[in-house]
Amino acid sequence: MVTPEQVKQYIAAGLTCEVLEVSGDGHHFEAIIVAKAFDGLPRIRQHQMVYQVLGERMREEIHALSMKTFSPHEWKNRP
């Protein structure tokens, strides 16, 4: 079973993050991801980048991932 720490490592290996928090129960995970690479991108494209980093793990190891993604500017200015 995959742990939240492993999911965090998978994301960090493919995406430089300023903030990366992952929680979950081994099947369903929640993540908060702040990355400079998200600057100027719509939310859907940000999520696609994370899914791309995770690749086949999304089919084989991770059953569900709910994420909140932000650029550093969005993170700093969030309500």
- At residue 56, does pLDDT exceed 90? yes
Express each pLDDT in 6-32 by its tens digit. 999 999 999 999 999 999 999 899 999
SS3 annotation, the chain: CCCHHHHHHHHHHHCCCCEEEEEECCCEEEEEEECHHHCCCCHHHHHHHHHHHHCCHHHHCCCEEEEEEECHHHHHCCC
> According to the model, what pLDDT value does residue 40 have?
96
Mean pLDDT of the chain: 96
Look at the domain 4-71 and name its fold: GMP Synthetase; Chain A, domain 3 (3.30.300)
User: What are the residue ranges spanned by the domains of the chain?
Assistant: 4-71
Mean pLDDT of 35-56: 97
> According to the model, what pLDDT value does residue 27 have?
86
